[in-house]
Amino acid sequence: MEIKEVVSYNDLQEKLANSKKSYVLIYKSGSAQSDCAYNNIKKVPDVKDVQILGVDVNYVRDVHAHYNVKTAPTLLEFSGDKMLKALKGCHDSGYYKAIFEDAVFTVQQEKEGKKQKNVVIYTTPSCPWCNRLKQYLKMHKIRYRDIDVSKDPRMAQELVKKSGHTGVPQAEIDGQIVVGFDKKKIDRLLEIKA
């Protein structure tokens, strides 16, 4: 994706006003983590209706303070000029691609007058049911956050505390836990018409 550089806070506000959905990467060029995030975002194919902006804190000093960003890299998500959330650190290009594509799903849902429920799924790369769950959610244009518990033991422990189960996949939909790929329960909680 093309990353449009921002030169000041005022420049950022103008660019945000001209786009419905934007992501702003606050980074520090020359830093390994920032260069990693920047390069992985550039590998993502263009996503329709999504703009990517870059703020290099080596040169632009008035943006990160407005959004209380203290670490670089941090990716900020915007709807118009309203900041929705922040994602810290470097992630692989596939993860960024999923984030940017899911933004399109959110825009489609907003047009239909629906508010997206908060969906977090807990998976591992070797789990076939995890992949089926992800495909199912994407097919129904459900935006979700994917946590790979094989890479994050702390989250794995937290999941066991929440559900009492160690297996994956598990989904947390607006605070309710779904163990396994329980299609009926997922459909009910997400109001998916079968």
Number of domains in the chain: 2
Q: For 64-79, what is the mean pLDDT?
A: 92
Quote the pLDDT of residue 194.
Answer: 61
Domain boundary residue, one of 48, 78, 110:
110
Is the pLDDT assigned to residue 112 strictly greater than 90? no
Q: Do 1 and 44 contact (CB within 8 A), yes or no?
A: yes
* Shared domain check, 80 and 13: yes
* Shared domain check, 128 and 86: no
Of 107 and 12, more confident? 12
Q: Do 178 and 186 contact (CB within 8 A), yes or no?
A: yes
Is the pLDDT assigned to residue 169 strictly greater than 80? yes
Q: What is the DSSP letter of 46?
A: P
Quote the pLDDT of residue 109.
Answer: 53
* Shared domain check, 62 and 102: yes
Bridge partners (DSSP) of residue 148 are: 123
Host domain of residue 132: 117-190
* Shared domain check, 137 and 85: no
Contacts with 99 (C-beta within 8 Å, 6 or more apart), sequence order: 23, 75, 77, 87
Q: CA-CA distances (angstroms) from residue 150 to 54, 80, 167, 182?
A: 31, 36, 11, 21
Residue type, 152: D
* Shared domain check, 148 and 105: no
Domain boundary residue, one of 68, 91, 110:
110
pTM above 0.85?
no
The overall average pLDDT reported for the chain is: 89
Read off the pLDDT of residues 37-58 as tens digits, 9 standing for 90 and up. Answer: 999 999 999 888 899 999 999 9
Angle between helices 128-139 and 183-190 (to 10 degrees): 30
- The band of 27, judged by pLDDT with boundaries at 50, 70 and 90, is very high
